[in-house]
């Protein structure tokens, strides 16, 4: 094996593919805008088709569209001719991929789809092809050459189609006003979904689980409460239920370092006044960010009136899969 030759070949592939992607910039034109408009006005679903490598790329594009606010599914064109054509309705838009634009399995079903009124957006590397001519909108994804040294294996052409598909999906996402919360709703099982959907109220400790002592309690009483509730802190409350401060493990260490008598000293003399607080309606990921920015391990949860309604620590975020 010649290591230098292998590295040179790999770099050549990347350079060729990068050049192919860059060439797409000049094709973001009125045709691209028309393609986006056609997909935005679709009252049904965006049906993506493609054979071979184009099919694999099309399947990914369909998945990206579906997860970013544009309902979509992939149909294998060969299967479409054997019954799956019934999945496509007049309200749908067809996004057809074929580098040559002459794929028989794709072109065979075009007249049938046009007959029922399905609009067709084509993505090919041949503007004069059958598919391009039959399409309502054509996106040119032609490349100067494939990265394959034989010029045979689809490489640059599939990359260009994939990138153009991503450009469509992201343009549609932005135009629709698709939000992070919308994205999370279609990804509820992953960490991203948990970060964007999970609220403080979903994971905080409430009721008798909240560590709390009155403002006139001693430090030793605060230690007993912290030990019992095992959150590494306790809220210190005024008589009206509002939070006066928080007493943490760190405050305890500083108290002992100063030689203060925990039995004779009021917790109010050693607590952190106010403490870091968060709303129960805030996202759990906001709690993580707040803990990290203030180098703390826990937060008190208060409502809009300043009343203590919960507490949580970093371990709760870990258990919930937010971190």
Q: What are the boundaries of each domain within the chain?
A: 3-178, 200-319
Alpha-carbon radius of gyration of the chain: 30
pLDDT digits (tens, 9 = 90+) for 134-167: 999 999 999 999 988 887 788 999 999 999 999 9
Q: How confident is the model at residue 260, as a pLDDT?
A: 86
Task: Please tell me the pTM assigned to this model.
Answer: 0.67
Sign of the alpha-carbon torsion through 72, 75, 81, 82: negative
In this model, does residue 259 exceed pLDDT 90?
A: no
pLDDT digits (tens, 9 = 90+) for 13-26: 999 999 999 999 99
In this model, does residue 214 exceed pLDDT 70?
A: yes
In this model, does residue 187 exceed pLDDT 70?
A: no
CATH class for the region spanning 200-319: alpha beta
Q: How confident is the model at residue 193, as a pLDDT?
A: 61
Q: Rounded mean pLDDT of the chain?
A: 90
- Compute the average pLDDT of residues 291-310: 90
Q: How confident is the model at residue 82, as a pLDDT?
A: 87
- Homologous superfamily, domain 3-178: Glucose-6-phosphate isomerase like protein; domain 1 (3.40.50.10490)
Q: How confident is the model at residue 321, as a pLDDT?
A: 77
Spatial strand order in the sheet of 233-237: 212-214, 233-237, 243-248, 272-273
In this model, does residue 283 exceed pLDDT 70?
A: yes
CB environment 60-71: b (16+ within 10 A), e (fewer): bbbebbbbbbbe
Q: How confident is the model at residue 133, as a pLDDT?
A: 95
Q: Is 299 exposed, middle or buried (0-12, 13-18, 19+ CB in 10 A)?
A: buried
Residue 119 CA to residue 45 CA, distance in Å, equals: 11
Q: Angle, nearest 10°, between helix axes 219-229 and 249-257?
A: 150
Binning pLDDT at 50, 70 and 90, where does residue 120 land?
Answer: very high
Q: How confident is the model at residue 2, as a pLDDT?
A: 87
pLDDT digits (tens, 9 = 90+) for 31-86: 999 999 999 999 999 999 999 999 999 999 999 999 888 999 999 999 998 889 99
Give percent of the chain above pLDDT 70.
94
Q: How confident is the model at residue 22, as a pLDDT?
A: 95
């Amino acid at each position: 094996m010649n290591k230098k030759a292998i590295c040179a070949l790999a770099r050549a592939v990347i350079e060729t593919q990068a050049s192919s992607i860059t060439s797409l910039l000049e094709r973001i034109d009125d045709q691209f805008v028309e393609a986006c408009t056609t997909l935005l006005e679709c009252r049904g679903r965006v049906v993506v088709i493609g054979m071979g490598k184009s099919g694999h790329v099309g399947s990914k594009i369909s998945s990206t569209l579906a997860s970013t606010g544009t309902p979509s599914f992939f149909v294998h064109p060969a299967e479409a001719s054997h019954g799956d054509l019934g999945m496509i309705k007049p309200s749908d838009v067809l996004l057809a991929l074929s580098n040559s634009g002459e794929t028989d399995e794709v072109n065979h079903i075009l007249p049938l789809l046009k007959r029922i009124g399905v609009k067709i957006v084509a993505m090919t590397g041949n503007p004069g092809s059958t598919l391009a001519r039959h399409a309502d909108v054509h996106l040119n994804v032609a490349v100067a050459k494939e990265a394959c040294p034989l010029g045979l294996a689809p490489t640059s052409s599939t990359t260009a189609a994939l990138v153009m598909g991503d450009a469509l999906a992201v343009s549609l996402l932005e135009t629709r006003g698709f939000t992070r919360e919308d994205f999370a709703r279609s990804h509820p099982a992953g960490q991203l979904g948990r970060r964007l959907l999970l609220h403080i109220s979903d994971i905080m400790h409430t009721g008798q689980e909240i560590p709390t002592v009155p403002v006139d309690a001693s430090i030793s009483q605060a230690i007993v409460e912290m030990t019992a509730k095992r959150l590494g802190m306790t809220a210190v409350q005024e008589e009206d239920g509002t939070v006066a401060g928080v007493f943490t493990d760190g405050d305890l260490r500083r108290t002992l370092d100063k030689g203060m008598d925990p039995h004779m000293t009021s917790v109010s003399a050693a607590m952190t006044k106010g403490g870091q607080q968060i709303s129960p309606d805030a996202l759990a990921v906001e709690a993580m960010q707040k803990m990290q920015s203030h180098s703390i391990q826990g937060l008190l949860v208060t409502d809009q009136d300043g009343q203590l309604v919960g507490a949580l620590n970093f371990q709760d975020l870990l258990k919930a899969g937010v971190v």
